[in-house]
Homo-oligomer: A and B are copies of this chain.
Amino acid sequence: MNQDPIRIGVIGLGNMGSAHAGYLARGEVEGAVLTAVADPVAARRDWAQEQLGNEVRTYGSTQELIASGEVDAVLIATPHYAHPEEAKAAFRAGLHVLVEKPAGVYTKQVREMNEAAAASGRVFSLMYNQRMNPLYRKMRELIADGELGELRRINWIITDWYRPQSYYDSGGWRATWAGEGGGVLMNQSPHNLDLFQWITGLMPSRIRAFCGFGKHRDIEVENDVTAYAEYANGATGVFITSTCDAPGTNRLEISGERGKLVAEDGKLTFWRLRVPEPEFNRDYKGGFGSPETWRIEVPLPGGDPQHHRAVTRNWVDGIRTGAPLAAPGEEGIRGLELCNAMLLSTWTDGWVELPLDEERYLQALQERIDASSSRKDPAAAGARLDVQGTH
State the A residues within 8 Å of B (CB).
Answer: 152-153, 155, 157, 159, 162-167, 170, 208, 210, 212, 215-217, 224, 226, 228, 230, 234, 236, 238, 240, 242, 244-247, 249, 251, 253, 255, 259-260, 262, 271, 273, 277-278, 280-282, 284-291, 293, 385-390
Residues of B within 8 A of A280 (CB): 164, 246
| B385 and A288 contact, CB distance less than 8 A | yes
- Assembly stoichiometry (copies): 2
Does B386 contact A152, Cβ atoms closer than 8 Å?
A: no
Q: How far is the CA of A253 from the CA of B240 in the complex (A)?
A: 13
Picked from B208, B210, B217, B293, the residue with its CB within 8 Å of the CB of A247 is B293
**Beta-carbon contact of A226 and B228 below 8 Å:** yes
Interchain CA distance A200-B247 in the complex, whole Å:
19
Using A215-B234, A224-B236, A228-B210 as known contacts, say yes or no to A244 and B288 having CB atoms under 8 A apart. Answer: no
Q: Which residue of B lies closest to A386 (CB)?
A: B288
List B contacts of A262 (CB < 8 A).
249
> Given A163-B288, A167-B287, A226-B236, list of 11 further CB < 8 A pairs?
A153-B242, A164-B290, A210-B230, A212-B236, A216-B281, A217-B281, A244-B277, A245-B260, A246-B277, A247-B293, A287-B386
Question: What is the CA–CA distance of A226 and B227 in the complex, to the nearest angstrom?
Answer: 11
Chain B hits for A291, CB < 8 A: 246-247
Could you tell me if A245 and B153 are in contact, using CB atoms closer than 8 angstroms?
yes
Query: How far, in angstroms, from A240 to B282 measured CA to CA in the complex?
Result: 25
Assuming the A-B contacts A255-B245, A259-B247, are A288 and B236 also in contact, with contact meaning beta carbons closer than 8 angstroms in the complex?
no
11 CB < 8 A contacts A-B? A162-B290, A164-B280, A167-B287, A208-B210, A210-B228, A210-B236, A216-B277, A238-B238, A244-B277, A247-B291, A249-B260
CB-defined contacts of A286 to chain B, threshold 8 Å: 164, 166
Bound Cα distance from A390 to B286, whole angstroms: 14
* Ranked 8 nearest A-B pairs via Cβ: A162-B290, A287-B385, A247-B293, A166-B285, A246-B277, A167-B287, A164-B281, A170-B287
CA distance in complex: A253, B277 (Å) = 27
Give the residues in chain B near A284, CB-CB below 8 Å.
164, 166
A281 CB contacts on chain B under 8 angstroms: 164-165, 216-217, 244
Are A157 and B253 touching (Cβ within 8 A)? Answer: yes
Chain B residues, Cβ within 8 Å of A238: 226, 238, 240
| Chain B nearest Cβ from A13, distance in angstroms | 18
Most buried by B among A153, A271, A390: A153
Q: Shortest distance in angstroms between A291's beta carbon and chain B's nearest beta carbon?
A: 5
Distance to closest chain B CB from A227 (angstroms): 9
Shortest A386–chain B CB gap in Å is: 6
Note all chain B residues with C-beta closer than 8 A to A152.
216, 244-245
Write the nearest CB–CB distance from A128 to chain B, whole angstroms: 21
How long is the Cα–Cα vector from A387 to B287 in the complex, in angstroms? 10
Q: Which chain B positions have C-beta within 8 A of A159? A: 153, 255
A276: nearest chain-B partner, CB-CB: B246
Residues of B within 8 A of A260 (CB): 245, 247, 249
A290 touches B246 (CB 8 A): yes
Which of B164, B215, B282, B293 interacts with A246 by CB under 8 Å?
B293
Using CB atoms, name the residue of chain B closest to A285: B166
Measured CB to CB, the nearest residue on chain B to A271 is B247
A159 to B154, CA, bound (A): 13
CB neighbours of A278 from chain B (8 A): 216
Evaluate contact between A290 and B247: CB separation under 8 angstroms: yes
